[in-house]
């Protein structure tokens, strides 16, 4: 049996039983237990299951619930401040950085040191926060405006983003499901993808509440970033899981 067919069979069995065992899979599919373990690792790397002792279980992710920017600003504030401090620790003098939209990233602006920086953003709220601060340059990416996220997005925005190169990009997310970094709006996700592709160092910022959550559109893979920056409320099992794909700060 070809590997793709075998892995499809494993996922089909998992859908039916929720948990599968290496020994039984090897017997049913007439391959070695080592082959099954390799299959399970590949499927886990793709976010399609979670390996457990002796087998695997179905990956269970909750769906993201859309809430307003104003409500987001009032929840998990201490965790967001902790994440912001970690992000600022990565920023160096003369950096060109991109700050994506989101209430977590807004806290980065509040504690940025007075050093020589060029800051680019597509978030109106972040741009407004930057006014009056003495950085080398502040660039607002324009385009179509979405009030609920306070973000510029779309064709015009992406044309501008496609032409820039940055040292470091800090991008938020509505949820991380397996290796998939997701967002509610596909058009904003496309912009985030462009930013990350054009960054020398790529960082996803997420508080603990967005882990094992899936929103509509996948815009990036954890394997392709420099680090997932989160807070100390992340469970140790989650940290160990995500460290298979990237650094966890």
What CA–CA distance (Å, rounded) separates 125 from 249?
A: 26
* Arithmetic mean of pLDDT, 183-207: 97
Phi first, then psi, for residue 120 (nearest 5°) are -115, 140
* Arithmetic mean of pLDDT, 7-12: 90
Instruction: Provide the 3-class DSSP secondary structure of residue 137.
Output: strand
Q: Note the pLDDT of residue 65.
A: 63
CA 52 to chain centre: 24
Task: Please give the CATH topology (third level) of the domain spanning 3-60.
Answer: Arc Repressor Mutant, subunit A (1.10.10)
What CA–CA distance (Å, rounded) separates 6 from 78?
A: 46
> What pLDDT, in 10s, does the model give residues 24-38?
999 999 999 999 999
> What pLDDT, in 10s, does the model give residues 214-231?
888 999 999 999 999 999
CA distances from 231 to 29, 82, 83 (A): 42, 6, 6
The radius of gyration of the chain from alpha carbons, rounded to an integer in Å, stands at 20
Domain assignments of the chain as residue spans, ordered by start: 3-60, 69-248
* Arithmetic mean of pLDDT, 105-116: 92
Structure tokens belonging to residue 246: 């990237």
| Residue 107 pLDDT grade (very low, low, confident, very high; cuts 50, 70, 90) | very high
Output the pTM of the full model: 0.77
> What pLDDT, in 10s, does the model give residues 167-192?
999 999 999 988 999 999 999 999 99
Q: Note the pLDDT of residue 63.
A: 62
What CA–CA distance (Å, rounded) separates 135 from 95?
A: 11
CATH architecture of 69-248: 3-Layer(aba) Sandwich (3.40)
Q: Note the pLDDT of residue 236.
A: 87
- Does 57 have pLDDT greater than 90? no
What CA–CA distance (Å, rounded) separates 241 from 55?
A: 16
CA distances from 211 to 90, 136, 143, 186, 215 (A): 22, 35, 30, 19, 11
CA distances from 131 to 95, 128, 142, 187, 212 (A): 18, 5, 16, 27, 36
Q: Around Cβ 182, how many Cβ atoms within 10 Å?
A: 22
Q: Note the pLDDT of residue 47.
A: 76
Q: Note the pLDDT of residue 66.
A: 63
């Amino acid at each position: 049996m070809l590997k793709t067919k075998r892995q499809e069979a494993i996922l089909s069995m998992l859908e039916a039983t929720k948990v599968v065992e290496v020994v039984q899979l090897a017997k049913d599919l007439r391959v070695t237990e080592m082959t099954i373990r390799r299959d399970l690792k590949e499927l886990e790397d793709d976010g399609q299951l979670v390996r457990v002792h002796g087998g695997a279980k179905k990956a269970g992710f909750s769906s993201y619930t859309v809430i307003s920017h104003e409500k987001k600003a009032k929840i998990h504030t201490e965790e967001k401040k902790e994440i912001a401090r970690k992000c600022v620790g990565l920023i160096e003098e003369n950096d060109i950085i991109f700050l994506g939209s989101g209430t977590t990233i807004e806290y980065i602006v509040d504690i940025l040191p007075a050093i020589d920086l060029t800051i680019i953003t597509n978030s109106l709220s972040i741009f407004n926060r930057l006014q009056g601060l003495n950085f080398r340059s502040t660039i607002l990416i324009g385009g179509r405006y979405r009030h609920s996220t306070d973000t510029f997005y779309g064709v015009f925005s992406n044309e501008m983003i496609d032409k820039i190169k940055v040292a470091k990009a800090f991008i938020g997310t509505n949820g991380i499901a397996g290796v998939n970094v997701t967002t509610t709006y596909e058009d904003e996700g496309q912009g985030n993808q462009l930013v990350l592709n054009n960054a020398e160092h790529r960082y996803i910022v997420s508080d603990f509440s967005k882990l094992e959550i899936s929103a509509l559109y996948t815009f990036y893979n954890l394997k392709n970033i420099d680090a997932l920056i989160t807070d100390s409320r992340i469970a140790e099992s989650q940290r160990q899981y995500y460290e298979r794909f990237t650094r966890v700060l």
